[in-house]
Chain A
Amino acid sequence: MKVVLRNPRREVELPGPRRVKDVLRELQIVPGTVLIIRQDELLTTDAMLDDADTIELRPVMSGGGSGGVAPAGRRP
């Protein structure tokens, strides 16, 4: 399966089938810090993925927060 990561954007290829939570563990990502996206859908950590799947792991963070936060990726 293809796993797309952000900041910086990169792609990782992992063999399936395996659950989302095992993918996160393999990539040392703490559950709850990313949205797990497959096509137009969000997945929970127990979802099963197979070889043909492409998922994106998008960090949960703000773009142009109105209270004094710089655009994503430009934080100090």
Chain B
Amino acid sequence: MRWNQIKYAGWGNVLTADTQVARPERHSALEELITDCDHILPIGSQRSYGDAAIATEGKGLKTERMDRLLDFDPDTGTLEVEAGIKLGEILRLFAPRGWKPAVVPGTGMTTVGGAIANDVHGKNHHIDGSFGQHVESLVLLTADGNARRISRKKEAGLFKATIGGVGQTGLITSAILKLHPCPSTTMSVSENRIANLSDFVDAFEASTAPYQVGWIDTLAKGGDLGRGILEEAEFSAQPAATIMNQKTKSIPMTPPGFAVSGPIVKIFNALYLRRVPVDGRTVDRPINEFFFPLDKISDWNRLYGKKGFYQFQCVLPMERAKDGLSDLLEIVSDGGIASPLAVLKKMGEGRAGYLSFPMEGYTLAIDLPNRAQTPAILSDLAEVTERHQGRIYLAKDGAISSDAIARMYPEIGKFREQVNKVDPGHKFISAMAKRLNLRGQS
């Protein structure tokens, strides 16, 4: 197996690595790859924004060519796959047959391995929980070169450390997923304008839709703070199998940073909000476009220019939601750097790993172009998050401190115990694990 010296970045294009990366195509090559090197990190589609998938401490192993379907039971919707397969591909293949991944994040490029390692959530988190909750078992190739199948029944501690474990326990080679029924390949989507933050939270609380997501105009201030659009969706009654067009466009070159400068963002946000009529509307959308609206442009992250951007995402507990969200949005609207739309979602309790992100409450995600004042804004946001007993999402983070993370993730001790037991030599290590001292220095 050949190693390729490559430079790559997290999705935000701020944190980078320049290291040797292997891209195995066959299962039989894996064991040797793992045992032959001192430090290594599994890499999925690099859709994590910060340094979760950045291998500065050793080599990298790209899983994208290990992406086969291994088994499927059409009676129960139980699907076994290699971990490099993308969730969008599973949706494309199975939605016409009446099944879908139980949970999908906002991009179909996410691999099954990456979805497990960040225990990702989707627009149905308030009902269906996190991705890891629908993983029946997985095969983990650990530092000693041995593969083991683990689940809630077998090595439950290691299983919980692996889900949300950002690649630190070993390489997930395959997983068995419980798919959910998918009665239609079309979603019926209701969109309504929301006047301000308080109305937004009330609207979420009143909604009974299985899929919900809110878009917030971060430029709004004062009484308009938190205005935006609430999208509520359910499967359309139309059973017709729409052909899912996966055609994507790409950005030919890295445009100058002004593509996301203040005035342009302002126009964009205003247009986006006004697209929905004052008294709302209900439209039908192909299922893949509903779940992965940004995938139409394959590399939209390059719109932020060479300096890249950060994404801040936190979750706040229910009782602090209104106050906390308003504090966060104020920091952003006063911060003087234009952020395009922010995403607001309601979360349920569902989580499957020690380092899983979700808690019952509200989660807010904001893109911040990388400018001189960005670090200060990020640190203010983190402080407010902590003050409101919230938590920051590792899949997005590239900036927070290790102390804060330890306080935000109360089960980090259990995670450390498992990970240090299975990999005492710290073979699996990322820039993030090092920066945040995820393993706890022994």
Q: Do A and B come from one complex?
A: no
Residue ranges of B at the interface with A (Cβ–Cβ < 8 Å) = none
